[in-house]
Structure 1
């Protein structure tokens, strides 16, 4: 953490851990409330040259939502069982490590952290791991996620990736 950072590192960690807990407990509405309406939620894909795609508008992404409406639609489909990729819902366990503050501005803080998620469904347990780069907007003594870029390191997976895997 930079010596110039004024935001409490513990508060940042608690916020990130709370998001992970909401996913593990399938608390969809509180999870959505952690996101700003104009959030960009993006998981780029790896290209044939082992490089991440750079533009979600013109290149393939594993997940891309330009704002919270996309996340709300995804949660609606999960909750109403209109997502065959989510039925039955997997049991997940998120582990968060190496939370770093990269930059701080008056209204936001950029963070980087690693994740490892275990996902159990159909008597099988899958592992998802990678790094998240997030911008947390400062609001009334807390945060909202204003941008989230997820770099999935194990990009060869045997099922559809979803928001609860990361």
Structure 2
């Protein structure tokens, strides 16, 4: 399989389209277009950021081990967005930081039918109260490309610099 064409049920989803999909998702985060950002997720999509068990081992079971973020489906993500928008969370950063996401090393790991598994690296710069922070890591997505619009059906985010001095939220990663 090449990265030029990823077959979808009856049409082709090219690498440029995959890249554009990922860029559009992160742009929605940077622009705080929450409804647009949520539209990238399937209703059953888990969103998981495992914790580091030690310096080189990630936790493996979000149900029984520590996670930095875990939402078993989109309703958890929607709840988080609701709390961000309505300031109903003690962890909400006010003012919200300005963010800039950069993606690199986008790889198609597998494609079967309309299911595409991706891996990519990312770095997010945030600015708040005159201070710039950075977070970086690797994300693993499963995308269902069989419908009228591709949807993320599984999202795992590995935060590589997990020694952080403030609350981390969905817009940081």
TM-score (norm 2): 0.91
Structure 1, unmatched stretches of 5+, are: none
1:1-166 to 2 correspondences below 5 Å? 2=2, 5-6=6-7, 7-85=13-91, 86-166=93-173
Q: 1:49 Cα deviation (Å)?
A: 4.9
Q: CA RMSD in A?
A: 1.4
- CA distance in 2 between counterparts of 1:134 and 1:14 reads 14
TM-score (norm 1): 0.95
- CA distance in 1 between counterparts of 2:55 and 2:128 reads 32
| Higher mean displacement: 134-143 or 98-107 | 134-143
The 3-state SS of whatever aligns with 1:142 is coil
The 3-state SS of whatever aligns with 1:154 is coil
Structure 2, unmatched stretches of 5+, are: 8-12
